[in-house]
């Protein structure tokens, strides 16, 4: 049996555009003469469609278009197409998350998703009613078990704790499936593909059934889909893999595996995150209708890495770096920023902010009479810079990139409406220590100092007052990132983190900062998710709340 | 039988503070010698606790504190206490949404919630496993059916379409319940209490069982809880009602109803929204640790209403109005803003922005050489004002209120990092036409022109260029609000809205604006929910998406 996996990059809501992509994919795959062609989850709508699912006419329109796809591909092999099926019952949520079988020019049947993830960035219980019973497709003497994404993430042996009572894959095996298909839209996080392949292989081998897994690719808002669709033989061996972080059509023969393609996948964290952020940036910019970006260049490591990512994603001619020195900016920082721009080949411009600082000071002089300088004046500089960048963005039609990293976003070491300005937080889920690692990796890959060496070696500083460094306010980044990992990703309390050997006072100060910065993060730009728990859609904390562990 | 309802205002996460409130409430209620005392849903944690529920130690700590409450209240009548119960099973979500029975100094049993709302602002499927089976409390020869919030919102007769298969209230009645208790944390929306009372009365009467409903009060972030706990006799008649928008302890006798209290409730929309926003503002400010606020006063209706709300919520001495005239500001607007401040008795200050506009122009002159003036220059003014307000906020430790209304937030007629600056959107869920109605109601209530008459009669304008009015860009607000209601609250598509008689071109332009403003709203301050569908936690739209109905 031969199966073709359509690993496509849909635009959410773009029914016509996605349909065109799918039709072209079917035609392309058809040349290999497969027995079945499979798209990723909700491929026609783009994943995640979120509240578009509440618009009835959107669903109706999608079914008309599914019908058109069926007609257009009448001559093609059978296709499993990811879409949302209305729930005709008078009770329950309005839709099913489904895979429609397209055969002989018609949509003939729908297979439904059983397990509806509702944690982290997932919200499927909001929209979908679960399937009841095994979803089996009989095709050419084969009994094919159809599962959708989460259905395969609840294996009783692979996980310590299962989230759901139901075991859809066990049910498919018990129903005599001789092939399991999983159509997914599984967002990237660092190291996830290794877990996927381990889990999928273990399921294939335990049930002695080959398994074909198709994933979406591309960036949709905060989520980046890495593709890497793959097929396992009944022994649990990987017998085919599609490309990483790009569209691909993979046809695999389940019996004669010799000519199957196994595209390489680089699991180095630096490489994975780089590839994800390049794809995420490119798709966010293009899918929102822009072609160029700008960003502030401070001479620091964060803006250096984001500039390098943007140049890779969009081409160096579509990136503008803006230097906005104040009287507190060091000549080193200005030199480093200019050298970086030159190394990347991007345009740069310099707008000194001193005259604007003076104008604000004059207007506020009477109100602030007798008050000592404090954070207010530091925030003012950041907000002047944010306002200048937005003015350039407005005038030029370029999209502003936000350059804050996860460590500073966690503890609020950033200015709302200042350096937090921008449409997308490119590295807002990358901890500072990983920012350094990826930047070093960039230089290694290029075999030259794209990012100037002083950017690595000088003490990190916001340069908002004379002689300031980040570590005046924050613990060393390695320590900070360790505490943040345990709190943000593992939900640990202070007393649990103490057990890992971190100093108690630093833990309490850090967690207090995380809590106090909640109001800033609520107004932050969306940021690309690369860790198991990013701020944004997967982090839903109250603001006007009290720390239960305080006192 | 006598039952006491503790309608309290908890702080989310403040286990100790909430416990103190609950203990005082139990002591107070105990004086009436009730048979049972009942708190609202998750009262110990504060609703909604959101991702605090993922912190295991938070739950452990809450159980220790529940034990302390039990010991402290050993002499009190039995208490039903809203909290989260760990799910000890190896499968399923980590918690139950529960009501713990406290009796004789101990937590003796937990009753669990069956229906877990996961729509609009609700996210309970993320955290909770549903109850299985009827939750019955046997007490003094009574068979009491225990239900939690959503459990009672799925009646087969009351609703056209039910969301869930299960019917917990039907099960309680079938299990012989002679009293139904519902512990809730049901957020306010306009007109909701009338629906609640109609629904609760109809359920009581159909099953011929009295029904006691206890609701939370107070504001927690975007959600405002209106209290108005109530009790219905077995004929469906309202026999007791607690106060609106404030804490209350209501003891009701189910048999001898004559001495029960039925507090009045004003269902006028203007009055309801006013009371909700006063409570929401007060709680947001105090619960985030502030005591005073500031806001920009433009001379327009939005900032006038927000200033009046703030003065009512916090006292006139805790509100600062800031005038920031530009060369485009009319003298009328300045006069109106000053008159408003005088009428309210709040402080005001005036910071002309012209010198700062000039400073930006000078810094940007070279970059912008040859470019005509456009939205960039208008946004600059708004961002200068936002930056000044934030500087005052930072320096004074006052919280900045955002004054945008729902109509402009819907279509993006507002500047990100400009007039959108602020910690909380006080009227961001109030359509412009309702802003006028409430403002008029304020003057009527005060029997004087608190809000100066020209504010009502002049054409609304952002005054960002000479002679500008809102209607240069937008359709008349009555028309706009009608279209927005059908699209935002009812999820209607353009072709459905056309059927209501609105002009097609205006509909498409409006919906395109709503879509295009998604990126702004994602970075908006939280705003108080007063309609059935507010932006914020109950609106989850993709940004980098395509309009499916375009072309």
Task: List pLDDT tens digits, range A16-66.
Answer: 999 999 999 999 999 999 999 999 999 999 999 999 999 999 999 999 999
The interface residues of chain B toward chain A in range 272-291, judged by CB-CB distance below 8 A, are 283-284, 287-288
Chain A: residue whose CA lies nearest to B361: A356
CA angle (B38 as vertex; B36, B43 as ends), nearest 5: 155
Concerning whether B113 is annotated as a catalytic residue, the answer is: yes
Strand runs labelled E in B140-206: 142-148, 179-183
Q: What is the pLDDT of residues A468-480, one digit of tens each?
A: 999 999 999 999 9
Q: How far apart are CA A82 and CA A148, in angstroms?
A: 9
Preferred mutation among A542, A549, A550 to probe B, highest tally of B CBs within 10 A: A542
Q: Does B362 touch chain A (CB under 8 A)?
A: yes
Concerning whether A113 is annotated as a catalytic residue, the answer is: yes
List the alpha helices (DSSP H) in B399-493. 406-411, 432-446, 453-457, 477-484
Q: Does A59 touch chain B (CB under 8 A)?
A: no
Residue B322 phi/psi, 5-degree rounding, is: -115, 120
Domain boundary among B245, B266, B287: B266
Whether A113 contacts A130, CB under 8 Å? yes
B157 burial class (0-12, 13-18, 19+ CB within 10 angstroms)?
Answer: exposed
Q: Give which of A139, A224, A229 is closest to A193, Cα–Cα.
A: A229
Q: What is the pLDDT of residues A517-541, one digit of tens each?
A: 999 999 999 999 999 999 999 999 9
**From its phi and psi, is residue B321 left (phi > 0), alpha (psi between -120 and 50) or beta?**
beta
Q: What is the pLDDT of residues A90-131, one digit of tens each?
A: 899 999 999 999 999 999 999 999 999 999 999 999 999 999
Write out chain B residues lying below 8 Å of A123, CB-based. Answer: 118, 123, 540
Q: Are A81 and A153 members of one domain?
A: yes
- Bigger pLDDT: B353 or A548? B353
Q: Does B497 touch chain A (CB under 8 A)?
A: no
The answer to whether residue B230 scores a pLDDT higher than 90 is yes
Preferred mutation among B296, B545, B549 to probe A, highest tally of A CBs within 10 A: B545
Residue B538 lies in a domain: no
**Residue B549 binned pLDDT confidence (cut-offs 50, 70, 90):** confident
Q: Are B70 and B197 members of one domain?
A: yes
pLDDT of residue B551: 54
Q: How far apart are CA B192 and CA A385, in angstroms?
A: 45
As given in the structure block, the two tokens for residue B35 are 């048979």
Domain boundary among B266, B297, B314: B266
Q: What is the pLDDT of residues A51-63, one digit of tens each?
A: 999 999 999 999 9
The answer to whether residue A551 scores a pLDDT higher than 60 is no
Q: Does A391 touch chain B (CB under 8 A)?
A: yes
Q: Are A95 and A22 members of one domain?
A: yes
According to DSSP, residue A77 is labeled P
Q: Which domain holds residue A213?
A: 2-258
Helix (H, G, I), strand (E, B) or coil at A386: helix
Tally the C-alpha atoms within 13 A of residue A128's C-alpha that lie toward its C-beta.
26
- Percentage, residues of chain A above pLDDT 90: 97
- The CATH number for B91's domain is 3.60.110.10
Residue A190 lies in a domain: yes
- Percentage, residues of chain A above pLDDT 70: 100
Helix (H, G, I), strand (E, B) or coil at A84: strand
Whether A400 contacts A422, CB under 8 Å? yes
Residue A336 lies in a domain: yes
Residue A481 lies in a domain: no
Tally the C-alpha atoms within 13 A of residue B435's C-alpha that lie toward its C-beta.
29
- Give the count of beta carbons closer than 10 Å to the beta carbon of residue A248: 21
End-to-end CA distance of chain B: 65
As given in the structure block, the two tokens for residue A181 are 């298909």
Write out chain B residues lying below 8 Å of A392, CB-based. Answer: 364, 367
Residue A38 phi/psi, 5-degree rounding, is: -130, 130
As given in the structure block, the two tokens for residue A514 are 């995380």
Among A151-160, A373-382, A481-490, the range scoring the smallest mean pLDDT is A151-160
Q: How far apart are CA B477 and CA B479, in angstroms?
A: 5
Chain B: residue whose CA lies nearest to A57: B493
Q: Give which of B245, B127, B118, B154 is closest to B537, Cα–Cα.
A: B118
Report how far Cα B15 is from the mean position of its chain's Cα atoms.
22
Chain A: residue whose CA lies nearest to B524: A523
Q: What is the pLDDT of residues B478-525, one digit of tens each?
A: 999 999 999 999 999 999 999 999 999 999 999 999 999 999 999 999
Residue A325 lies in a domain: yes
Decide if B91 and A164 are in contact by the 8 Å CB cutoff: yes
As given in the structure block, the two tokens for residue A151 are 């259905």
Residue partners of A477: CB distance under 8 A and separation at least 6: A407, A431, A432, A433, A460, A470
Q: How far apart are CA A399 and CA A284, in angstroms?
A: 10
Q: Are B251 and B282 members of one domain?
A: no
The sign of the torsion formed by the CA atoms of B35, B36, B37, B40 equals: negative
Preferred mutation among A548, A549, A550 to probe B, highest tally of B CBs within 10 A: A548
Residue B485 lies in a domain: no
**From its phi and psi, is residue A63 left (phi > 0), alpha (psi between -120 and 50) or beta?**
alpha
Q: What is the pLDDT of residues B12-21, one digit of tens each?
A: 999 999 999 9
Q: Are B319 and B381 members of one domain?
A: yes
Q: How far apart are CA B297 and CA B350, in angstroms?
A: 10
Q: Are A348 and A302 members of one domain?
A: yes
pLDDT of residue B158: 86
Q: Are B441 and B402 members of one domain?
A: yes
Q: What is the mean pLDDT of residues A196-202?
A: 97
Q: What is the mean pLDDT of residues A280-300?
A: 98
Whether B444 contacts B270, CB under 8 Å? no
Chain A: residue whose CA lies nearest to B163: A92
Residue A142 lies in a domain: yes
Which of A49, A90, A364 lies at the smallest CB-CB distance from B161? A90
Residue B548 lies in a domain: no
**Residue B161 binned pLDDT confidence (cut-offs 50, 70, 90):** confident
As given in the structure block, the two tokens for residue A28 are 């392309």
ipTM value for the complex: 0.96
Write out chain A residues lying below 8 Å of B360, CB-based. Answer: 356, 387-388, 391
Q: How far apart are CA B274 and CA B306, in angstroms?
A: 10
- Give the count of beta carbons closer than 10 Å to the beta carbon of residue B160: 5
Q: Give which of B91, B89, B88, B87 is closest to A156, Cα–Cα.
A: B91
Q: Are A406 and A282 members of one domain?
A: yes
Q: Are A353 and A427 members of one domain?
A: yes
Tell me how many domains chain B contains.
Answer: 2
pLDDT of residue B370: 96
Cβ-Cβ contacts under 8 Å between A and B: the total is 280
**Residue A161 binned pLDDT confidence (cut-offs 50, 70, 90):** confident
As given in the structure block, the two tokens for residue A104 are 């002989």
Domain boundary among A235, A258, A281: A258
Q: Are B174 and B150 members of one domain?
A: yes
CA angle (A409 as vertex; A384, A350 as ends), nearest 5: 30
Q: Are B183 and B232 members of one domain?
A: yes
Write out chain A residues lying below 8 Å of B49, CB-based. Answer: 542, 545
- The CATH number for B398's domain is 3.40.50.620
Q: Give which of B490, B482, B483, B492 is closest to B532, Cα–Cα.
A: B490
B2, B21, B41, B408: the active-site residue: B41
Whether B548 contacts B513, CB under 8 Å? no
Helix (H, G, I), strand (E, B) or coil at B383: helix
A2, A41, A73, A414: the active-site residue: A41
Q: How far apart are CA B274 and CA B208, in angstroms?
A: 36
As given in the structure block, the two tokens for residue A339 are 């050298």
Decide if A355 and B349 are in contact by the 8 Å CB cutoff: no
DSSP assignment of A352-379 equals --HHHHHHHHHHHTTTTTTPPP-HHHHH
Q: Which helix (H) or strand (E) holds A194?
A: helix A192-207
As given in the structure block, the two tokens for residue B280 are 């929401």
Decide if B12 and A360 are in contact by the 8 Å CB cutoff: no
Q: Does A525 touch chain B (CB under 8 A)?
A: yes
Q: Are B324 and B225 members of one domain?
A: no
pLDDT of residue B160: 83
B149, B230, B414, B421: the active-site residue: B149
Which of A92, A358, A380 lies at the smallest CB-CB distance from B165? A92
């Amino acid at each position: 049996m031969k199966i073709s996996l359509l690993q496509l990059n849909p635009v959410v809501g773009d029914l016509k555009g996605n349909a065109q992509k799918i039709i072209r994919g079917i035609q392309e795959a058809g040349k290999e003469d497969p027995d079945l062609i499979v798209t990723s989850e909700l491929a026609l709508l783009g994943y995640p469609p979120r509240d578009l699912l509440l618009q009835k006419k959107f669903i109706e329109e999608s079914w008309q278009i599914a019908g058109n796809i069926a007609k257009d591909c009448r001559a093609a092999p059978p296709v499993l197409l990811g879409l949302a099926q209305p729930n005709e019952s008078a009770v329950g949520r309005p839709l099913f998350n489904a895979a429609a079988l397209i055969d002989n020019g018609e949509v003939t049947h729908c297979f439904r998703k059983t397990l509806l993830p509702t944690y982290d960035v997932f919200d499927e219980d909001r929209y979908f009613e679960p399937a009841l019973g095994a979803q089996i497709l009989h095709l050419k003497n084969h009994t094919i078990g159809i599962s959708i994404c989460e259905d395969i993430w609840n294996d009783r042996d692979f996980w310590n704790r299962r989230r759901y009572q139901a075991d859809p894959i066990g049910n498919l095996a018990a129903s005599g499936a001789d092939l399991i298909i999983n159509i997914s839209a599984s967002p990237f996080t660092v190291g996830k593909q290794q877990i996927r392949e381990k889990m999928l292989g273990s399921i294939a081998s335990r049930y002695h059934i080959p398994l074909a897994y198709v994933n979406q690719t591309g960036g949709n808002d905060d989520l980046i889909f890495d593709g890497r669709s793959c097929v396992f033989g009944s022994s649990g061996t990987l017998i085919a893999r599609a490309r990483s972080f790009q569209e691909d059509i993979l046809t695999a023969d389940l019996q004669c595996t010799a000519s199957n393609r196994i595209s390489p996948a680089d699991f180095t964290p630096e490489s994975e995150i780089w590839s994800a952020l390049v794809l995420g940036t490119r798709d966010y910019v293009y899918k929102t209708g822009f072609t160029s970006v700008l960003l502030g260049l401070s001479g620091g490591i964060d803006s250096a890495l984001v500039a390098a990512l943007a140049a890779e994603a969009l081409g160096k001619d579509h990136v503008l770096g803006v230097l906005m020195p104040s009287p507190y900016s060091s000549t080193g920082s200005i030199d480093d920023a200019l050298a970086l721009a030159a190394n990347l080949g991007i345009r740069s411009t310099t707008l000194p902010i001193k005259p604007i600082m003076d104008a604000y000071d004059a207007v506020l002089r009477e109100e602030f009479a007798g008050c000592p300088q404090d954070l207010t004046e530091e925030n003012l500089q950041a907000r002047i810079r944010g306002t200048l960048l937005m003015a350039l963005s407005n005038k030029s039609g370029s999209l502003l990139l936000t350059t804050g990293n996860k460590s500073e976003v966690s503890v609020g070491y950033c200015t709302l409406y200042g350096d937090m300005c921008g449409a997308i937080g490119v590295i807002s889920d990358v901890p500072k220590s990983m920012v350094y690692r990826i930047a070093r990796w960039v230089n290694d890959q290029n075999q030259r100092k794209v990012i100037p060496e002083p950017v690595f070696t000088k003490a990190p500083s916001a340069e908002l007052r004379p002689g300031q460094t980040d570590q005046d306010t924050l613990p060393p980044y390695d320590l900070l990132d360790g505490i943040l990992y345990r709190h943000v990703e593992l939900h640990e309390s202070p007393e649990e983190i103490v057990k890992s050997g971190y100093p108690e006072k630093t833990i309490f100060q850090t967690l207090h900062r995380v809590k106090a910065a909640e109001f800033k993060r609520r107004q932050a730009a969306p940021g690309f998710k690369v860790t198991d728990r990013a701020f944004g859609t997967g982090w839903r904390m109250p603001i006007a709340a009290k720390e239960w562990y305080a006192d």
